[in-house]
């Protein structure tokens, strides 16, 4: 080997050494622990093949813990995370504070026009998209077709609360351990209050009037909450005040619930014969309305990726977000895991796909539920807030959690519905005053 060759080799090595760090980026991605996100982590090998210069580090957490961690990180501009998974509750609040990078122009594969309009709107602030939806859900009614048949009932596609009550009374059979209805009773703004908020909206009520005065003692709240408490106390499973999504899912899959009204993501679980003992006896309908109002609660939740403004890897992060939420990913997930496992609720093209509709018998009702959800006008009267199963303002987490505790106590029989609402109204007024929404 000549000196010249050694010199050339050295130069090439030095050049490569300079070039590699310039191109490489390591992204820290914070995600929630659910089936779709875990599947995405497994399929990320495809992203690494396409972009070998971008490394991925995953931080997977339970959603409440994730929310606590990323909120403090994003609010204090620490920049520990390059891509963060949040819901449509956070997006408008964080965007308003300037904590997020806008996500317009994510490329042709992302195809913004293909997003469900309701989802895109819920992830935008002043017309600009700040989050890319990974999967989305609304709430639907799931029921046991065999029990309905035995009772001589037929579930309408758009049930009313009146019909639900009548059906629950007829299919409850305490001797056989069949509970007419399973609903969330566990306290929390994302637990029982997600359901109660939608119930109240469907009943014609609202959280706040246009001056941000809490309306928790209005007739609509009193009637809706009274109905909910009465239904669970008389026809719900024992310990309903501590049941959340998972507990009700276990009960429904074991054949103990006649009707379960909850997030549409449950549809794929209850129809999966590997998990559910009633997989082929499940029917679906929209979230009930009061009938005359035709308001189906406006439940809408979208787990979405955002890029914090403090990230130092914005371009690489945009590349990853475009891959994970683009049309190509849907094809990849379908190819690798089957059509039923493609993240639902975000793209119109998915619901136009014959393969998906065949693999997911609940696709039509989920699509309709998302379509009819109007988070900007969730109540019969005008409201100053956005959100159907939550209120997208910062104090809501605290208010929702405390009101949830009061209503959970009412379901447990420790207080009446009216007492719980009186305390809730007082707490909501105090918190809104502290947050300077009220004088």
Name the minimum Å distance from CB 125 to another protein.
25
**Tally: H helices and E strands in the chain:** 18, 11
Which residue number, 98 or 273, has a Cβ lying nearer to another protein? 273
Binding site for another protein (CB under 8 A): 28, 30, 32-35, 38, 41, 57-65, 68-69, 72-73, 76, 78, 80-81, 190-191, 244-246, 249-251, 253-254, 256, 263, 265, 269, 274-275
- In the DSSP assignment, the letter for residue 344 is P
Which residue number, 121 or 247, has a Cβ lying nearer to another protein? 247
Name the minimum Å distance from CB 259 to another protein.
18
Name the minimum Å distance from CB 344 to another protein.
13
Which residue number, 191 or 423, has a Cβ lying nearer to another protein? 191
What is the gyration radius of the CA atoms in the chain, in angstroms? 24
Which residue number, 78 or 349, has a Cβ lying nearer to another protein? 78
Residues facing 86 on adjacent strands: 304
Between strands 83-86 and 128-129, the pairing is unpaired
Residue of 423, 409, 410 lying closest to 229 (CA atoms) = 410
Name the minimum Å distance from CB 211 to another protein.
31
Q: Give Cβ neighbours of residue 19 (< 8 Å, ≥ 6 apart).
A: none
Which residue number, 194 or 379, has a Cβ lying nearer to another protein? 194
Name the minimum Å distance from CB 78 to another protein.
5
Which residue number, 160 or 341, has a Cβ lying nearer to another protein? 341
The gap from C-alpha 405 to its chain's centroid, in whole angstroms, comes to 21
User: How many alpha carbons fall within 13 Å on the CB side of residue 385?
Assistant: 26
**Coil, helix or strand at residue 376:** coil
Name the minimum Å distance from CB 338 to another protein.
17
**Alpha carbons 181 and 47: distance in angstroms, whole number:** 44
Which residue number, 246 or 381, has a Cβ lying nearer to another protein? 246
**Alpha carbons 272 and 291: distance in angstroms, whole number:** 32
196: left (phi over 0), alpha (psi -120 to 50) or beta: alpha
Q: Which two tokens stand for residue 306?
A: 């955002």
Name the minimum Å distance from CB 35 to another protein.
6
Q: Which two tokens stand for residue 307?
A: 């890029």
Q: Which two tokens stand for residue 135?
A: 């999967």
């Amino acid at each position: 080997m000549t000196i010249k060759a050694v010199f050339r080799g050295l130069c090439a090595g030095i050049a490569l050494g300079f070039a590699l760090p310039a191109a490489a980026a390591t992204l820290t991605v914070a995600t929630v622990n659910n089936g779709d996100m875990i599947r995405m982590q497994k399929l990320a090998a495809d992203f690494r093949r396409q972009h070998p210069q971008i490394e991925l580090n995953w931080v997977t957490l339970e959603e409440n813990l994730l929310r606590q961690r990323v909120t403090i990180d994003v609010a204090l501009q620490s920049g520990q995370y390059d891509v963060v998974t949040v819901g449509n509750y956070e997006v408008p609040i964080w965007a308003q504070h300037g904590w997020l990078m806008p996500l317009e122009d994510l490329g042709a594969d992302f195809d913004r026009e293909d997003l469900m309009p309701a989802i895109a709107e819920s992830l935008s602030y002043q017309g600009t998209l700040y989050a890319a939806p990974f999967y989305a859900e609304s709430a639907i009614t799931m029921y046991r077709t065999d029990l309905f048949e035995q009772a001589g009932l037929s579930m309408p596609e758009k049930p009313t609360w009146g019909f639900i009550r009548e059906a629950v009374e007829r299919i409850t059979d305490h001797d056989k351990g069949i509970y007419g209805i399973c609903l969330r009773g566990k306290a929390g703004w994302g637990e029982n209050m997600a359901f109660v908020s939608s119930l109240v909206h469907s009943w014609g009520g609202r959280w706040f009037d246009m001056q941000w005065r809490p309306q928790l003692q209005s007739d609509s709240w009193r009637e809706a909450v009274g109905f909910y408490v009465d239904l669970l106390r008389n026809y719900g499973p024992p310990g309903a005040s501590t049941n959340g999504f998972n507990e009700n899912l276990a009960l429904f899959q074991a054949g103990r619930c006649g009707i379960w009204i909850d997030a549409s993501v449950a549809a794929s679980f209850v129809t999966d014969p590997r998990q559910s003992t009633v997989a082929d006896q499940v029917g679906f309908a929209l979230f009930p309305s009061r009938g005359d109002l035709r308001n189906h609660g406006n439940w809408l939740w979208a787990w979405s990726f955002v890029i914090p403004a403090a990230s130092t890897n914005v371009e690489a992060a945009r590349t990853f977000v475009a891959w994970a939420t683009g049309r190509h990913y849907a094809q990849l997930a379908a190819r690798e895991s089957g059509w039923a496992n493609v993240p639902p609720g975000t793209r119109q093209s998915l619901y136009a796909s014959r393969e998906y509709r065949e693999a997911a018998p609940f696709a039509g009702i989920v699509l309709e539920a998302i379509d009819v959800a109007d988070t900007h006008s969730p109540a019969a009267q005008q409201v100053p807030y956005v959100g159907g199963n939550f209120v997208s303002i910062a104090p809501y987490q605290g208010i929702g959690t405390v009101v949830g505790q009061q209503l959970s106590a009412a379901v447990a029989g420790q207080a009446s519905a009216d007492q719980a609402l009186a305390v809730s109204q007082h707490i909501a007024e105090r918190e809104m005053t502290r947050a300077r929404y009220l004088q």
